[in-house]
Structure 1
Amino acid sequence: MSTILLIEQLLNGLQSGLMLFLMAAGLTLVFGVMGLINLAHGSLYMVGAFACAGVAAATGSFWLGLAASIAAAAAAGAIVEVAVIRRLYARDHLDQVLATFALILIFSEGTRWLYGSFPLYLNVPPSLSGSVTLPGGIQYSLFRLAIIGAGLAVAVGLFLLIGKTRIGVQVRAGEADREMIAALGVDIRRLYTLVFALGAALAGMAGALVGTIQSVQVGMGEPVLILAFVVIVIGGIGSIKGALVGALLVGLTDTMGRVLLPSIFGLFMETSAATSVGAALASMAIYILMALVLIVKPGGLFGARA
């Protein structure tokens, strides 16, 4: 494998990891602060993708579509939290799983009713189309570089929000002792709605950005949701730093595994067999990584609790 191809795949893994971070950051906040298992988080990712596709098709502007994806996912998240999720905080995790799984079905069928069963496609904005030449003569997609930049910017913004603002102090305090901050006069219901809407907005943004690379279709959120749960287990529940590190590890492991493993097995196996075995092991790699992390640190890399 050439050095240029290896660097390109590393960048693809970085891009994939940062998109997973947008999903996992909201999920880990909700899980860490509220103690809620939200299986419907992937549906909010889908809502953002479809909102972007619909508005971009109607206006011809990807940027208006991106804004619509964030707004639509945040609004959907806030409505779901007030109407459904708020009634689940005191219930056990089985009730939360069943209720949020029902939300997946509702979102999927509602989206199918609005948009149909056929996939939609988002065009890369003209200002970000084409490729750029990186040091070493590497040609790489300008849009994928923009996704990497956006992911890093969101990560920095979240770290500043959680670590440097009053809302961030309330979120961290709510994770540690929600009864105490409620007793101190903090409107815990409003805080929960805000956290849930923020997580939904990040998921919607990820859906819009990934929708330009893949197709936008009903059910697109469920595979990403599984990876997001793997990320927060690796990074540690409730930790934004853990979500970032875990997402990068998962993104790089998945991408590089799919590229390197078939080549490695090809050294001593037939090409068809090497491709088959390598692809199978590559799909298992992130779960093997998760198992190894849990063996060493059962609470995740940056988890405060097991």
Structure 2
Amino acid sequence: MRQEPGGVRRRRGAGAWPYLLAAPTVLGMLYLLVYPLARAVLISLQDFQLRQLIRGNAEFVGLRNYETLLTDERFWQVVRRTFLFMAVNVVLIMLLATLVALLIERLGRRWRLALLSALVLAWAMPVIAATTVFQWLFHSEFGIVNWSLKHLGFSSFDRYPWFAHGPAAFTILVLLIVWQSVPFAAITLYSALTTVPSELYESARIDGASGGRIFRSVTFPMIRPIFMLVFSLEVIWTFKAFVQIWVMTNGGPGDATTILPVYAVQTALSSQRYDLGSAASMVSVLLMAAVLVLYFRQMFRQEGEAL
């Protein structure tokens, strides 16, 4: 049998080496991501309650859990609230992040460094710590917000229970999510702004274009890919917001701050209906995927490409 040259064998071995190095990461990702997703899909198709969790032998019921879920009026109220929560947060985040990024671009070196440092520190704060800070800020007796409003002449806010009123709790959560999300979006958009050639700005100013016209005709078209990427990430992160809501309000008062991830956990833990909770999680994934697909279709249509 003819033997292959040693150089050929070495090249083949070298070609397989990167795949061997990447294999542990890929296998770990499959175990941590794909397996839980497949397990959740399986549970959503079974009669899986506390008894089945302890004893096993869950019965396969097909799409019955999805039928129960989709015929529940409370579920659709939560869906509408989820999309409202997502829309309000994403619009505010992208608007404020764009303004902050434009501000950073126009600052001097020292002020730019100070603002970027502040954004990084705000972004690095753990979610639980930030949520706890907001709880204390709006505490009915010891919160600085009530104290400040009272001393400004708004006596009606003396010991005002923010978290006992649905619209107030919803607003506080929006402020928290926006405060946590703007730093990442602003820094990313500022990085995109640094790639815009200064010659384009100079040409636009020579032509007499205003600041708004320069942003619409020069800046935004150049940073649009990064803007769209940040937008899609914020949609995902806002849609699946759970920790802040669970720690601050548990979805209350009533259902005022209950969105789909919170609803799924409430259904699984409080009602011990792990099958319905898994079904709600799967519907959440499908809804989020549908939103992103529609968004990307529109984006590619504007770019003149086909999805």
Question: Normalising by the residue count of structure 1, what TM-score does the alignment of the two structures yield?
Answer: 0.31
* TM-score (ref. length: structure 2): 0.31
Q: Quick one: higher RCO (CA 8 Å, sep 6+), 1 or 2?
A: 1
